Amino acid sequence: MVNQTTTSHPMEILIIRHGQSEADLLDVHEGRADFPLTELGEAQARKMAMSVAKQYPPEIILSSTLKRASGTARILQEAIGCEIRFYDDLRERNNGVLAGMPRKEAAIKYPLPKGGRPLHIPIQDGESELEFRYRAERIFQEILYDYREYQRIAIVSHGGMISNLLKSFLKQPYGDFRFFTGDTGIHLLEQREDMRVIKFLNKLEHLM
């Protein structure tokens, strides 16, 4: 039986992290805090967009609705000229009361429990690691199915979400490891009818 998410042709999936945001300069917890790109972040996004447009332009861009990702996605769209669609479910983990809070203040007000926060327990007003992993799995499966007729798509999102999307692609359960993505880092995956292929991870050559 053929899985519903398979396609009759290979489908390439570009997964791209946003550029530097203002939160990076303020030393605050970002997550759901909605900071825009910095000037450097915009420059990083333009370099990424030029590289993607030249080497592997997508037919459509799917983006998180948070400013740092949507801003990056719009810069990519300008370089490609394709359609762009926005998804709340591609946003970073909901970190509740920590969103926008200075890290030093958060360490005092909401210190991590000894041994770390249990996987099923969220920070106040946020989502747990397990809820976040499930959200990533659900949106990724939805994307693979809804866009299965496309030959190449791009997803613009955030470090934590991207790590979970990669785990989903690799069919990995929750684990205490993470895929790192630098600012505007690019991952290229390929969904084939009989297998899943990783072409490269966290490509940053466009910034050098």
Global pTM? 0.94
**Model pLDDT for residues 100-123, shown as the tens digit of each residue:** 999 999 999 999 888 888 889 999
Residue 156: name the closest of 29, 21, 8 by CA: 21
Which of 18, 158, 187, 206 is labelled catalytic? 18
List of residues 6+ apart from 110 with CB closer than 8 A:
97, 98, 123, 124
Query: Hunting for tokens 């990076």 — which residue is that?
Result: 24
Active site residue 18: yes
Residues facing 119 on adjacent strands: none
**Model pLDDT for residues 15-37, shown as the tens digit of each residue:** 999 999 999 999 999 999 999 99
**Model pLDDT for residues 134-156, shown as the tens digit of each residue:** 999 999 999 999 999 999 999 99
Which of 30, 92, 127, 129 is labelled catalytic? 92
Query: Hunting for tokens 């600012």 — which residue is that?
Result: 183
Active site residue 92: yes
Q: Residue 91 has which token pair? A: 């946003």
